[in-house]
Structure 1
Amino acid sequence: MIILISIILLALAGLAIWTRLKAREIEARYPPAGEMIDVGGYRLHAVHVPRPDSADLPPLVFIHGASGNLLDQQAPFRPMLEGRAEMLFIDRPGHGWSERGGEANDTPAGQAAAIARAMQAKGISSAIIIGHSFGGAIAASFALDHP
């Protein structure tokens, strides 16, 4: 029995080491695309595209869906909108390169508050909020709590 438990523990330790090595490999291959913004004790990863002089649209804030990251929306929308609007692409708390933060981020309202603080840090006082999939629930919370 002790031998079986030892084998299982060694296998688990080996898997943990392999997982960490693979995670480092992926992190090296795909470094953060933007900057880290302190939102009160933790940081959100974001790509901020400043307001161009020729802007004909209001600022746009993009919130990705479940199990995604900011590249999901940056890849299709940035090329089409660059030069027309200030844009902020956010990795939601605990996704992409963003830190998880506290229990408040368990809810759409908590994540909306974190994104509102990131907007404030970038000098964006109002914007059109664009949410995809689960990001839509956060955008709805944003509309209710941060009109």
Structure 2
Amino acid sequence: MRKVRQAFGGHVSILAYCLMPNHFHFLIRTEDEFRCNDFLNSYRLLLSSYTRAINKQEGRTGSLFQQNSKAKLLGGSDYAFTCFCYIHQNPLRAGLVNQLHEWEFSSFMDYVGIRGGTLCNKELCRSIIEISEEPDTFIKESYLAIPDEVVRDIFIKS
């Protein structure tokens, strides 16, 4: 996560994240002057640096990720809320945990108040997406079912 902070500096606010065994998700907001090309270049450098570090640590070469990265512009707050929930539900959907709070590699526990992580700008996220500050309500909303067609839409739309 240190590399994420370094790569984006003050140009990006991270709203949510989830690190999975073979992929990851970030919900971010960029500053207006931080152009898309600047973000993509910083993102490529981050992935390249991360890959080199892991390959060195593991004594291997080659790509770490099976698929190319995708970036999507989110329109309204309803869609952003759906993506926010999807990101946190990812380990549950993959069968890695039975409860969202069991996955330590996401921002879910920071929003619930179980952990005091500082990577996500929770205040900004709450102002954009209007998620609850009350833990019980937040947890209930986080488990809302996301219809399969909406999940497909997240991945198919560009």
> Under a length normalisation based on structure 1, what TM-score does the superposition of the two structures give?
0.28
More strand by share: 1
> Under a length normalisation based on structure 2, what TM-score does the superposition of the two structures give?
0.27
